[in-house]
Amino acid sequence: MHRDTLIVHAGYRKHGEPGPFLPGPQFSSTYSSPGAPSQHALTYGRFHNPTWTAWEEALGTLEEGHAVAFASGMAAVAAVLGVCLRPGDVLVLPADAYYTIRRLAAGWLEPLGVQVRLAPTRDNAQADALEGARLLWLETPSNPQLDICDIRALVEAAQMRGALVAVDNTTATAYLQQPLGLGATYVVASDAKGLTGHSDLILGHVATADDERADALRTWRTQHGAIPGPMEVWLAHRSLATLPLRVSRQCASAQELAQFLDGQPGVETVRYPGLPGHPGHEIAARQMRAFGSIVSFDLGSRARADAFLGALTLVREATSFGGVHSMAERRARWGGDAVSEGFIRFSVGCESVDDIITDVTRGLKAAISR
Ligand SMILES: *Cc1c(COP(=O)(O)O)cnc(C)c1O
């Protein structure tokens, strides 16, 4: 069957099996389990939960690997770093990696004796930092600058040096990009963004093709305790069936918005991997099914960016991305990314693209009057 069809049914009860299509959330901290614990599939709520099992089966279909769900994207990131790295190891991170991952590496891993090397995503620059590395961390498209690196080429470079590879796939989602199929050891994502798309929960997951690595991640989760809540997992699973519809619409609208913005007065640069002039366009076209829901652009100054955001009446000013409701923010307000003061990260939702462009036109008019 078509992949979209498999996603609509992923992790649901099998066709012909009586009962709900998708069982409701299982709220249990403990389960009746007399005698030897090994006789029971369910014993204690930090070890397992049938709601997680169904969700992980669905994620496994998407990633084509074994998936382990976590309480947040950062819990998933920390689990991969935790199971891979020991004092003396070298971690190669994107210099433009998600800000909190860079903070975690500097604040937790470096004091433990892990050497952290930073190199940009663009131009596969991380390939030159791999000597002696234990783990290569990739993020493509990077957030918020939407730079692209070649996953397959970097996996090959890492394998030659015996390094593992993890890909933060949050911006693309497993719908658009499957790093395990390109040879990565791990794929990691925040499921608070485009994968679930309704801006109503925080979750994360890791997937790997390797059984033993998946077991090690489950042990990490049990021991560190960053377990997902059953309500969040059930909401996420409920959202997954519309993933192909949502993301297809968002990508088509994002492409249209990017083309509209390119050349508009007041817009200094537009970054979208779907624009032929984007430096990573050809690689993205090879390794992604479409180019994603985020369009970034520079309005040249903080005053212009603030005027743009202040004039919007449909698009909400908020952080995060990938939701069905369009949102935008002036990224420099956080201080963690190397972006200019007028840089806008725009997340295209599922509204009519005409309405989105009408709102953006209103914003741009306000911006250029500043
Ligand atoms: C949001 C995000 C994370 C962290 O995920 P949380 O669910 O917020 O913990 C990690 N990487 C990227 C690229 C993100 O956008």
Using a pLDDT cut of 70, give the percent of the chain over it. Answer: 100
Of 176, 210, 240, the last residue of a domain is 240
Does residue 256 sit in the same domain as residue 235? no
Pair of tokens at residue 123: 């131009």
Which protein residue's CA is at the shortest distance from atom 7 of ligand 1? 73
CATH number of the domain to which 319 belongs: 3.90.1150.10
Annotated catalytic residue within 4, 46, 200, 286: 46
Our answer on whether the CB atom of 94 is closer than 6 Å to any ligand 1 atom is no
Structural domain of 189: 3-240
Does residue 232 sit in the same domain as residue 269? no
Does residue 125 sit in the same domain as residue 229? yes
Our answer on whether the CB atom of 72 is closer than 6 Å to any ligand 1 atom is yes
Reply yes or no on whether 168 is catalytic. Answer: yes
Residues near 74 by Cβ (< 8 Å), separated by ≥ 6? Answer: 100, 101, 104, 190, 204
Our answer on whether the CB atom of 96 is closer than 6 Å to any ligand 1 atom is no
Number of domains in the chain: 2
Reply yes or no on whether 31 is catalytic. Answer: no
Does residue 275 sit in the same domain as residue 131? no
Does residue 297 sit in the same domain as residue 176? no
Does residue 274 sit in the same domain as residue 194? no
Of 173, 207, 240, the last residue of a domain is 240
Give distance in angstroms: CA of 347 to centre of ligand 1: 15
3-state secondary structure of 21: coil
Q: Over 90: is that where the pLDDT of 136 sits?
A: yes
Does residue 217 sit in the same domain as residue 260? no
Distance CA 130, CA 134 (A): 8
Tens digit of each residue's pLDDT (9 = 90 or more) over 185-195: 999 999 999 99
Our answer on whether the CB atom of 98 is closer than 6 Å to any ligand 1 atom is yes
Q: Over 90: is that where the pLDDT of 118 sits?
A: yes
Tell me the average pLDDT across 333-346: 93
Our answer on whether the CB atom of 74 is closer than 6 Å to any ligand 1 atom is yes
Reply yes or no on whether 46 is catalytic. Answer: yes
Give distance in angstroms: CA of 73 to centre of ligand 1: 5
Q: Over 90: is that where the pLDDT of 298 sits?
A: yes
Of 240, 262, 277, the last residue of a domain is 240
Does residue 210 sit in the same domain as residue 332? no
CATH number of the domain to which 192 belongs: 3.40.640.10
Does residue 234 sit in the same domain as residue 262? no
What pLDDT does residue 336 have?
83
Does residue 198 sit in the same domain as residue 151? yes
- Taking the CA atoms of 138, 141, 147 and 151 in sequence, report the sign of the dihedral they define: positive
Using a pLDDT cut of 90, give the percent of the chain over it. Answer: 99
Whether cis (ω within 30° of 0) applies to the bond prior to 25 is no
- Give the pLDDT band (50/70/90) at residue 207: very high
Tokens 């040879």 — which residue? Answer: 183
Residues near 115 by Cβ (< 8 Å), separated by ≥ 6? Answer: 88, 89, 90, 91
Does residue 353 sit in the same domain as residue 265? yes
Tens digit of each residue's pLDDT (9 = 90 or more) over 60-96: 999 999 999 999 999 999 999 999 999 999 999 999 9
Does residue 201 sit in the same domain as residue 261? no
